[in-house]
Amino acid sequence: MAELQGRYDVIVIGAGPSGSVAATSLANHGYRVLILEQQHFPRFSIGESLLPQSMEFLEQAGMLQAVIESGFQHKNGAAFCRGHEYDYFDFRQKFSDGWGTTFQVQRSRFDKTLADVAEQRGVVIRYGQTVTAVDQCEGGITVEVKSEEGSVYHVTADFLLDGSGFGRVLPRLMNLEKASQLGTRIALFTHIEDNIRDSRFDRNKILITVHPENPEIWYWLIPFSDGRASVGVVLPRELFDEASQEQKATLQRYISEGGMLSEVLANAVFDTPVRTLGGYSCDVKSLYGERFALLGNAGEFLDPVFSSGVTIALKSATLAAATVHRQLQGLEPDWELEYAAPLKTGIDTFRVFVEGWYDGRLQDVIFAGSKNESVKGMISSILAGYAWDTRNPYVREPARLSTLAELCRL
């Protein structure tokens, strides 16, 4: 037990992307960092289609080369179809400066890659550990931990970061949760042997499909580099009764209604159990407090439609690590101005686009017959994750999306 006790500069809950990037960034400054992870890696997770903006954050933390060397599927854009309508956005043709390409990743391997880099940089990671309580103490914050063997111990740090994702450890323990304003939806998804031979499908792009009769239903198809793919459907919660529906049959039935998607997946082998995720949209009362801050999904998650989750997670990790560094240097940073407000700039941009997707405005823009190339580049930038580039008029004033949709309907 004694070796588990101790004092660190920073404790991070969760070894996912936000936790590993924040921990590595702080370790790069010489801090003693401990990650407490409930599961063992590799482990399954969704959020497999990265956005190019993520590459910048990985590069800043010195973790990008390990990702590049992992052999993940190249990605250069996003394609959209509705029935047999089809269009795409090439992220290399965007308004914002920066990376125009990224990867589509099996998260089990991607997350372990990042965690391994964190350990190589001196971060201590303890797997199979569950945080059960937190307590402010004199000069720090103490975390109560239960090991998988059942023992309970305590560790103390100057600062605590929560990168627990959908586990949302600190929001639950500190009563920070609040209801999301986004609608309640459920996702059904799995991995398949895709056997795609359809020339219309571009493996360098995620394919997002709209149900031809119900625009609130949409699908993702994310190809991997090994001939497999992640496929899922997102439904309004009222359309799925978990008690009365067989999940694999339900997913396959919706895919059969997907127009071009059904044809692309005509030879797919569904060889992995179908999973569900519901009630994923979430929010919190505050992203930070005395000696703690929330990262990524532990703070707020919008919707999987634009694959923004990992990008927001990495942005939060980058901002938080820099702010913690200033705090540990005794500089008394303003967490609202230096962390919460900048992070929310991008979150709020993504939120407008998510809302626009479900109310039809963004779908009208995407499937418009003709597009102004300059404006398309601005939209492409946001879809590529550059939701913090305030030079972009659609970041500076996201409500412009409504005007653009009206013009596209003419």
Cα gap 208→292, rounded to integer Å: 37
The domains of the chain are located at 2-178+281-345, 185-277
Q: How far apart are CA 396 and CA 98, in angstroms?
A: 18
Nearest by Cα to 240 from 161, 187, 284, 287: 187
Q: What is the pLDDT of residues 231-271, one digit of tens each?
A: 999 998 888 765 456 899 999 999 999 999 999 999 999 99
> pLDDT: is 3 or 134 the higher one?
134
For residues 188 and 231, give the distance between their C-alpha atoms in angstroms, rounded to a whole number.
9
Q: What are phi and psi of 11, to 5 degrees?
A: -110, 135
Q: Say whether pLDDT at 325 is over 90.
A: yes
pLDDT of residue 1: 43
Q: Which CATH architecture has domain 2-178+281-345?
A: 3-Layer(bba) Sandwich (3.50)
Q: What is the pTM of this model?
A: 0.95
Name the class of domain 185-277.
alpha beta
Q: Is the peptide bond before 52 cis (omega within 30 degrees of 0)?
A: no
Helices (H), 69-199: 107-120, 169-173
**pLDDT confidence of 174, banded at 50, 70, 90?**
very high
pLDDT tens sequence across 184-195: 788 999 999 999
Q: Say if residue 333's pLDDT is above 70.
A: yes
Q: Which of 197-211, 221-235, 238-252 has the lowest mean pLDDT?
A: 238-252
pLDDT at residue number 2: 43
Give the phi and the psi of residue 209 in degrees, each rounded to 5.
-115, 135
Q: Read off the pLDDT band of 64 (50, 70, 90).
A: very high
pLDDT in tens, 272-308: 999 988 766 677 889 999 999 999 988 877 788 889 9
Q: Report pLDDT for 284.
A: 84
Report the chain's mean pLDDT, rounded to a whole number: 93
pLDDT, residue 242, reads 56
The residue among 404 and 300 whose pLDDT is bigger is 404
pLDDT digit string, tens, across residues 343-395: 999 999 999 999 999 999 999 999 998 899 999 999 999 999 999 999 999 99
Per-residue tokens: 53: 């903006």
Backbone angles phi, psi at 44, to 5 degrees: -75, 145
The DSSP result for 372-406, as a single string, is: -HHHHHHHHHHHTT-TT-TTSHHHH-TTHHHHHHH
User: In which band, very low, low, confident or very high, does the pLDDT at 139 lie, cut at 50, 70 and 90?
Assistant: confident
